[in-house]
Amino acid sequence: MFPKLGVNIDHIATLRELRHTLYPNLIEAAQQVVRAGGSQITVHLREDQRHIKPQDVFLLKKTLPIALNLEMAATDFMLGFAKKLKPDWACLVPEKRQELTTEGGLNLKKNKKQLL
């Protein structure tokens, strides 16, 4: 069954990193989504782990009663991470180190060799 409402909580982690604190808390944010009727949480674990951290994603997977969608780069490292995590959904997204947030889609023609 597809989620009715999915919420991306990446920018909660961005605020946490900018403040150099443990808040706002990703788990609390995800729990608010659940209480509001959301059926999926989305997070993008970038290879440089600049906002969302691996431990965040594992904790979300362990504690959430709703689906977890992992956005990830098409790399061997991220594939290995996803195999360990076993998210409900996984979405391949392009990553460029210089961008602040994902700015475009994945070009399948251009990246065919890397993806196959």
Give the start-to-end residue ranges of the domains of the chain. Answer: 6-115
Find tokens 């947030």 and name the residue. 101
pLDDT given at position 2: 75
pTM to 2 decimal places: 0.85
- The set of residues, in sequence order, having a beta carbon less than 8 Å from that of 19 and lying 6+ positions away, is none
Q: What is the mean pLDDT of the chain?
A: 89
The answer as to CATH 3.20.20.70 being correct for domain 6-115 is: yes
Give the separation between CA 28 and CA 18, rounded to whole angstroms. Answer: 18
Average pLDDT (100-104) is 56
**pLDDT, tens only, 61-96:** 999 999 999 999 988 999 999 999 999 999 998 876
Q: Which pLDDT band holds residue 1 (cuts at 50, 70, 90)? A: low
Q: Which pLDDT band holds residue 36 (cuts at 50, 70, 90)? A: very high
pLDDT given at position 21: 93
In 3-state terms, what secondary structure has residue 2?
coil
pLDDT given at position 103: 59
